[in-house]
Amino acid sequence: MSSQAARLVVLVSGSGTNLQALLDASADEAYGARVVAVGADRHDIEGLARAERAGVPSFVEKLPDHESRDAWDRAIAARIAEYRPDLVVCAGFMKILGQPTLAAFPVLNTHPALLPSFPGAHGVRDALAYGVRITGCTVILADAGVDSGPIVAQEAVPVLDGDDEETLHERIKTVERNLLVETVGRMAREGWTVTGRTVCLGRPSG
């Protein structure tokens, strides 16, 4: 493993609790990664305040500030590229990234369900409505679809009697945060390979 930490650009749209977990983890040199920039699609969010408190550069690219979605896709890809990331992490980022970013960088995303079940914006609500007894969270390598990229890691979370969307989602978020931090660290330290839809952490031997 290279002694140089992997460079992370983290994208946020809200409170940035996953970002904070990555900032905390990267304070340990042994983690193998550090957050070099935080990007957002809106101003005045706690995620940007977290970046400022940590002394991490940040940028904002608002979709309405651009003449088209394609123009925004190109603009945010260019802003990300300024920081030469080894990995881009969507940490509660509420926009689907376009081909300019996906073609240039590996992009990691999380989802509060066990994909491929219950993709989309209401994964927790949909799992509850279906009546599953086990749900969880997934870390994926993002592609052009909605929650359709190759799965990197998953962890199960039981659905308890009396759960509503809020209580279940809070338990999932705790597990998701830990899983994201663990997965990013392993990818930074060990590398990864993708064969078809199968992601293997660690570099091939030999």
Question: Which residues carry out catalysis?
Answer: 111
**Can you tell me whether residue 69 is helix, strand or coil?**
helix
The pair of three-digit structure tokens given for residue 162, joined into one six-digit string: 């009396």
Query: What stretches of 15-60 adopt beta strand conformation (E)?
Result: 33-40, 58-60
Query: What stretches of 78-148 adopt beta strand conformation (E)?
Result: 87-90, 107-111, 134-141
Length of the chain counted residue by residue: 206
The pair of three-digit structure tokens given for residue 195, joined into one six-digit string: 């064969």
CA distance 172 to 137: 7
